[in-house]
Structure 1
Amino acid sequence: MPQSVDRALDLLDAVAASPGPVPAKVLARRLGCGLSTAYELLGSLTARGHLVRTPGGYALGYRTPELHRSFRRQMRLGDEVQELLVRARRTAGADTYYSAYRDGDIAVLAGATAADPPTGGFGTGQDDAAHATAHGKVLLAALPRAARHRYLDAAGMRALTPRTITSPEHLDAQLAGVRREGVAVEIEESAAGVACVAVRVPVRGALTAVSAALPLADFRRRGPAVAEALRQVAAEVASFPNAADISPSTDG
């Protein structure tokens, strides 16, 4: 039974990662399972509304948006945050994101992107490479040292590019600067040709951040202006009535 659950979730992930409908034969091949097994699991996912069967193959079903709405509701992430990110994207001219540290994990909760795929390849969901992202760095910098190293021990510090920092000591030195300056910057650490900047949302007892990702050439021209735009966004998010509820207090 657990293996069937894993395979069903793998199928759902494979369909979600595809730019369009995926035939059952292709999915079975990707998962390394028999076609009959794939059809059985796909049938269950389709019956529950998580997938739909089209002439071109399987695609995400109409249940998927409801799951996302439920996630946003549980995160107390109101429409005002998404609307603010959209406005910030237009103002800053860069893909923008809202992230949080929660229960020992760092995740991107919302984003507003103009590029497809988004600049830097970021998307909503758990970030297991926070050591290489600007939003990750600004959140890690705000954590107590013990909590920060627990995260890094669990997630690891794999190299995403030749410029990724993979030394805890080197990262600690960089994060000290982030705490002094109040802004985190990463240049080609998570993706070649991309730079990111992030600032923490100033809410006591919560760890959230807003960030932007843009092509390196654009960042070199407009980096300070983008950082200032993010500071304004962070201040506005901090004024929301439920701002402190999105992320619980940091652990020690």
Structure 2
Amino acid sequence: MPASVPAPPPAAPGPQSVDRALDLLDAVAEAPGPVTAKALARRLGCGLSTVYALLGSLTARGHLTRSAAGYTLGYRLPALHRAFQRQMRIDDGLHEVLLRVRRVAGADAYFSAYRDGEIAVLDGTTAIHDTEAVFSVGQETTAHATAHGKVLLSALPRAARHQYLAARGMRRMTPRTITSPDRFDLELRRVRRDGFAVEIEEAQAGMACVAVPVRATAGPAGGARSRPVTAISAALPLAEFTRHRRSLTEAIRRAAVEAEGLTVHDV
């Protein structure tokens, strides 16, 4: 039996306490397995008593779970993820569309969106244990180096697109990453012309990705809308992409058509 731990003192109120609690949650999420309070205190650079207090609060609310080996994410988080999908208006059928792409094309598929000035991957077929996947669900910070980012940015007015890129930068991920705004504008012109985007070793060496816009069939008030605000993409190793590029692109096109009407996304 693990040694009992004294009841933690209440966490100090205020923004700093909130920041530290969220830092703890992030640290536990990034760990490969259960992590101890002492390890978390070292990582955050704060006192053990403070860490125990915050861990107590997070555990009591279900965001973390404690075992003899340490702390892991709690059972509350799946409910938060479902609420996230509901608020993002992700239909259950959308995940089935992505799974069909995975079965037919043998490539991990993703659904991404632009909303309120941010780009994020909202759903995908990457296995939970796959730590080497090119993309994962969450906020996108390197949209300029991804096929889905190109599709979504190509839908923005030029001024809004430049504002987005200026705020986040165009970090060089590989030697093939486009880091020039002018060259990127030319790339997006090609995306609008062709109706899809391709990224070859721009985000990660040895990997390639193709993305197609999903066109919303109706706006919040029921009006027709044709501008792409979401995208479906697929990523796979470059050698396989080279062999199956045409069939993969067609599979993504079909998936995008299937996804029309499954989600209405406000921009």
Give the TM-score band, short-chain normalised: over 0.9
Partner of residue 51, structure 2: 38
Q: Does structure 1 residue 117 correspond to structure 2 residue 135?
A: no
**Residue 246 of structure 2 is aligned to residue 232 of structure 1:** no
**For residues 195 and 7 of structure 1, what CA distance do their matches in structure 2 show?**
37
**Contact 2:213/2:228 (CA < 8 Å) preserved in 1?**
no
C-alpha distance in 1, partners of 2:55/2:19? 13
Measure, in 1, the Cα distance between the counterparts of 2:110 and 2:82: 17
Contact 1:119 1:215 in 2 (8 A): no
Is the 1:182–1:200 contact (alpha carbons within 8 Å) kept by the matching residues of 2? Answer: yes
User: Structure 1: which amino acid aligns with 2:96?
Assistant: E
Q: Which runs of 5+ in 1 are unaligned?
A: none
Unaligned 5+ segments in structure 2 are 1-13, 217-225
Flag the 1:195–1:205 CA change in 2: closer, same or farther, 3 A: closer
The equivalent of 2:220 in structure 1 is: none
CA change 1:32–1:161 in 2 (3 A) is farther
Q: How does 1:17-96 map to 2 (within 5 A)?
A: 17-96=30-109
**Structure 1 residue 248: Cα displacement:** 1.7
Amino acid at match of 1:230: I
Letter in 2 for 1:116: D
Number of the residue aligned with 2:232: 210
Letter in 1 for 2:235: A
Tell me, in whole angstroms, the C-alpha distance in 2 between the residues paired with 1:29 and 1:163.
Answer: 38
User: How far 1:118 moved relative to its partner?
Assistant: 5.1
Structure 1 residues 159-170: aligned runs within 5 Å: 159-170=172-183
Give 1:7 shift. Answer: 1.1
Task: Please state how far the C-alpha of 1:87 moved relative to its aligned partner.
Answer: 1.3
Shift of 1:205: 4.9
Q: Which has the larger radius of gyration?
A: 2
Deviation at 1:93, TM superposition (A): 0.4
Is 2:15 aligned against 1:2? yes
* Deviation of 1:193 (Å): 1.3
Matches within 5 A, 1:84-233: 84-114=97-127, 116-117=130-131, 119-120=133-134, 122-203=135-216, 204-205=226-227, 207-233=229-255
* C-alpha displacement of 1:128: 1.5
Q: 1:133/1:148 Cα in 2 relative to 1: closer, same or farther (>3 Å)?
A: same
Q: C-alpha separation between the residues in 1 aligned to 2:239 and 2:52?
A: 47
Partner Cα distance (2:67, 2:156) in 1: 47
- CA deviation string 1:85-142 (max 9, x = no partner): 111111110010000000111000000125712531x111110210011100111111
Note the aligned Cα RMSD (angstroms).
1.4
Alignment of 1:7-18 (within 5 A): 7-18=20-31
Distance 1:37 1:19 in 2: 23
TM-score normalised according to structure 1 size: 0.93
Q: Which amino acid aligns with 1:92?
A: A
| Percent identity of paired positions between Structure 1 and Structure 2 | 64
| SS of the residue 1:89 aligns to | helix
Give the 3-state SS of the residue equivalent to 2:215 in structure 1.
coil
TM-score if structure 2 supplies the norm length?
Answer: 0.88
